[in-house]
Amino acid sequence: MYEGPGKVEVHEIDYPEFELKDGPGVNPANVGRKLPHAAILKTVATNICGSDQHMVRGRTTAPPGLVLGHEITGEVVETGPGVEFVKTGDLVSVPFNISCGRCRNCKEGKTGICENVNPDRPGSAYGYVDMGGWIGGQAEYVLVPYADWNLLKFRDKDRAMEKILDLAMLADIFPTGFHGCVTAGVGPGSTVYIAGAGPVGLAAAASAFLLGAAVVIVADLNKERLDQARSFGCETVNIALGEPRDQIEQLLGEPEVDCAVDAVGFEARGHGREAEVERPATVLNSLMDVTRAGGAIGIPGLYVTGDPGASDEAAKQGSLSIRIGLGWAKSHEFATGQCPVMRYNRQLMQAILHDRVQIAKAVNATPILLDEAPRGYHEFDQGAARKYVLDPHGLLSRTS
């Protein structure tokens, strides 16, 4: 539970019901909403995400008392009367996007901008600020609405539990990294530049290899995270040493790449001497600089409409000094927004189960108990090259 800037605590909360109750962050228009189409899950794995860290750092308008967690894998223990196909005992992955399956956007596969789950604007997620108030999954049990639509079932539970740390990445970061690469146009023989060696950046790097990239370059200023990227075949750029363009030229013999992915978002820092100074537009501008004319840039990194901790008034409103003229001149394509997880999660599940990718190894997935979550948040915030996976029922320790 988020309790204020820099403060995460573990508390007892009520067992879920098939109705959305009032509470911190719950949109008043959602209070009392009946959920006969929902399922209650016993949480098997629930991950700490960099997006959660933005809230914990106090960089959003998240209220104290908000239950965190949008990366959920679990076992169905109850279903509402409107659930037809999901059954008690099913082991499932939960897309972090909450979507209804009924609106125009959902029917077009744009599940990241569902029109019916967040009264404020299209798009929702569990345990996240301004997303409608759906209770987060960093808990022992969690409610999932529109269960028949949202849940991805693992048909062989024993086989799935053998790869549960890998499969836990299907809720968000693996599809998100993959989406960043797909929208950037990564394909066989591509040269790819990925800004950010956190879990999403590392997932994007693994995805780039899965898509056939010839060279994957990952940039960061954290040595431990750059070492993690190199552990599975990536080239690396340390932005503390200077501009990416110069280092890319040393690696490739030319200063530009075919494709680029922003896996950093709005808390970006500068390059070289400004590597410790927050410069929220730096990543986007540098990607336009290093991406060839006619190339594309995938932007799964989070940008917000309100950042109370920003260094200037414009950035507090989500306005950044982006060199759109450069992007226009180079005919770049840009793709932003939540990854529509359901577009990819079934295929990526198959890649995991058939040993085509080791995503847990790539992101250094590390299980810890739910009570250890505050430590996990602290270490992640300090730059640990790990993807912390919370284990509320001690099930992961038996398989890892």
- Cβ contacts of residue 373 below 8 Å, gap of 6+? 8, 10, 48, 138, 388, 390
Helix (H) or strand (E) holding 287: helix 282-290
Q: What percent of the chain clears pLDDT 70, i.e. is strictly above it?
A: 99
Residues 200 and 152 in one domain: no
- CA–CA distance, 68 with 244 (Å, rounded to integer): 34
CATH number of the domain where residue 91 is located? 3.90.180.10
pLDDT in tens, 217-251: 999 999 999 999 999 999 999 999 989 999 999 99
Q: Burial of 194 by CB count in 10 Å (0-12 exposed, 13-18 middle, 19+ buried)?
A: buried
- 3: phi then psi, degrees, rounded to nearest 5: -120, 10
Q: Are 376 and 368 in contact (CB under 8 A)?
A: yes
Q: What percent of the chain clears pLDDT 90, i.e. is strictly above it?
A: 88
Map residue 399 onto helix, strand or coil.
coil
Cα within 13 Å of Cα(83), Cβ side:
26
Q: Which of 335, 361, 379 is the last residue of a domain?
A: 335
Residues 42 and 126 in one domain: yes
Residues 8 and 120 in one domain: yes
- DSSP for 134-166 reads PPPSSSSEEEESSHHHHPEE-S-HHHHHHTHHH
pLDDT in tens, 13-30: 999 999 999 999 999 999
Residues 304 and 177 in one domain: yes
Residues 158 and 216 in one domain: no
Helix (H) or strand (E) holding 93: strand 91-94
Q: Which of 335, 361, 388 is the last residue of a domain?
A: 335
Residues 67 and 79 in one domain: yes
Mean pLDDT of 171-186: 98
- Cβ contacts of residue 78 below 8 Å, gap of 6+? 39, 40, 88
Task: Specify the number of domains making up the chain.
Answer: 2
- Cα angle for residues 319, 97, 24 (degrees, 5° grid): 75
CATH number of the domain where residue 181 is located? 3.40.50.720
Of the listed ranges 149-153, 209-213, 265-269, the least confidently predicted one is: 265-269
Residues 314 and 252 in one domain: yes
Q: Which of 296, 314, 335 is the last residue of a domain?
A: 335
75 lies in which domain range? Answer: 2-171+340-398
Assess whether pLDDT exceeds 60 at residue 400: no
* Confidence (pTM): 0.96
